[in-house]
Amino acid sequence: MGPVPNSTSSGFNARTASRCAGASSAKLAGSHSDISVSAVTMQLACSRCSPIRISCGEYPRIRLTRELASSVNFILGTIPPVREIVIVISDLYLAQAPSGRASGLVQGQLETPPGAPGSGAFPGIEHVARFGERTALEGGWRPWLARWLGRGDLANVAPGVIAAVGVVSAGAGAVPAAVGAEHPAADAVSIAADGVSAGPAASAASAGAESPPDSTAWIATPVHLIAGLTSLHLDRRSILRLPTADLEGFALDFNRAFGDSGLRLTPLAAGDFLMQGPATLTAATTEPARALVADLEASLPKGNDAKALKRLGAELEMWLHAHPLNETRRRRGELPVSTLWLWGGTPAQPGRAQVLAAGDSPSAANTTVPFGNDPYLIGLCRLHGDTTHLLPDQLTDLLTDPRPQRAVLVIEVTTMLHLNPHWTVLEALAEIDRRFVSPAIVGLGEGSVESVVLLANDTHWRVRRRDRLKLWRRAHPGITALQRPG
């Protein structure tokens, strides 16, 4: 054999190197557990020779290095990874065009205005939509969340009934403390729900059962109707989130004016109301966020008792038309309340209290942590024995907390739009991506999160770390990533 080139003068014969590496690895692995596969490093020699030729000078030099104890990732070794993060964009629904493309959020809001974020502004959402497993949610996100929390028995219970459980009895017109406002000074994305949903599920069920057995409950969302040439319509800022003083004022006045009819209005932490009344007020209703992408007339109550509910809606409009609080809102430069949109109600059913009282143990020793102030979330968690918390400013704040093994965050586009009057829906979604979705994907890549679930537009995506290798999947740029399957 000829002389060994200078660049590989310390190399071994291929067979010798293989035997030495095997023996040394076995010895070191048996003598100390700190040696891992990553401790074997290959130092490639700079050679223009073909690596398939059997020549000692054409093989890389192999060296066994001992991995230092300080190189161990202390955080990942001591803090268990969050098993799953669920992010719910609760009020985002897209209209579906006949071609299968999303035709718009409402009145062309998917058409990107100058300066609005476009493709690349939603890297986390685009990653989830490309690599995640997608499933249509015919019943919406609420039944799915009930099952995820282990309360499948509540999946078919109306949202208004669940929300009623989260209401703390505090007198007529009272509102839970720390309810957010429409003003930038009060970050309504981080409205305090603590104290609203706290307490064991057994007491929560009894609180929710205080109403008469022949009553029902509705979520009453304040809306501002926009008058067109021939009809009324809604836009994204038509769904209002009222500050504490307005909630208390409207509720007190309503209970004085409508008390004889058996109706009662109670403020909710999200900035809307719970209306409780006779079980005769039953009809099929539509969530106001869904009405944004549908014809307003088609979104009105339907069913045998729809006329009674529509009549109540007309009375609410007359009551609110010249209400002093609306005049105050106009002077503040805020939209007046045109009416209260009733939805999510159902008549009382035999045994409902027993159903709500079931399952009174906290979830997995409080390892599931819910964030947000959605009334359904608060009531559901109260029934489950959990306490809802403020939304973190950044998801990274959650990833550094060693307590939760699962987390759910319910986020609302509407609230962000009221806090930022000049934002478009696309800018609100970009902010949700920046604060929550993208950090979750980063945690997925780093191993601090095992899976990420995104719920939006009646669609469920679940993405795991290994899913990023599915490069054959087609990317969906921008907001089109959230459209439902055609």
| pLDDT confidence band for 483 (50 / 70 / 90) | confident
Confidence at residue 435, expressed as pLDDT on a 0 to 100 scale = 95
The answer to whether the beta carbons of residues 461 and 128 sit under 8 Å apart is yes
What mean pLDDT comes out for the span 18-32? 44
Which residues are paired to 278 by β-bridges?
A: 215
Length in residues, the chain: 486
pTM score, whole prediction: 0.72
Task: Give the chain's mean pLDDT.
Answer: 73
| Residue the block writes with tokens 């999160």 | 449
Confidence at residue 52, expressed as pLDDT on a 0 to 100 scale = 41
What mean pLDDT comes out for the span 21-46? 42
d(CA 128, CA 135): 12
Higher pLDDT, 216 or 366: 216
d(CA 373, CA 378): 6
Confidence at residue 146, expressed as pLDDT on a 0 to 100 scale = 94
Higher pLDDT, 470 or 103: 470
Confidence at residue 118, expressed as pLDDT on a 0 to 100 scale = 57
Checking if the pLDDT of 367 tops 90, the result is no
Lowest mean pLDDT among 59-63, 92-96, 410-414: 59-63
**pLDDT tens figures, 340-360:** 999 998 765 544 555 565 454
| pLDDT confidence band for 376 (50 / 70 / 90) | very high
| Residue the block writes with tokens 């309810």 | 179
Query: CA angle, corner 253, sides to 251 and 256, nearest 5?
Result: 110
The answer to whether the beta carbons of residues 259 and 381 sit under 8 Å apart is no
Higher pLDDT, 116 or 137: 137
**pLDDT tens figures, 298-339:** 788 887 778 888 889 999 999 999 999 999 999 999 999 999
Which residues are paired to 221 by β-bridges?
A: 341
Where are the domains positioned within the chain?
6-72, 82-216+224-236+349-482
The percentage of residues in the chain with a pLDDT greater than 90, rounded to a whole number, is: 36
**pLDDT tens figures, 54-75:** 444 444 443 433 443 333 333 3
| pLDDT confidence band for 96 (50 / 70 / 90) | low
Alpha helices, H only, 226-293: 244-258, 288-291
| pLDDT confidence band for 124 (50 / 70 / 90) | very high
Lowest mean pLDDT among 22-31, 200-209, 418-427: 200-209
What mean pLDDT comes out for the span 266-289? 87
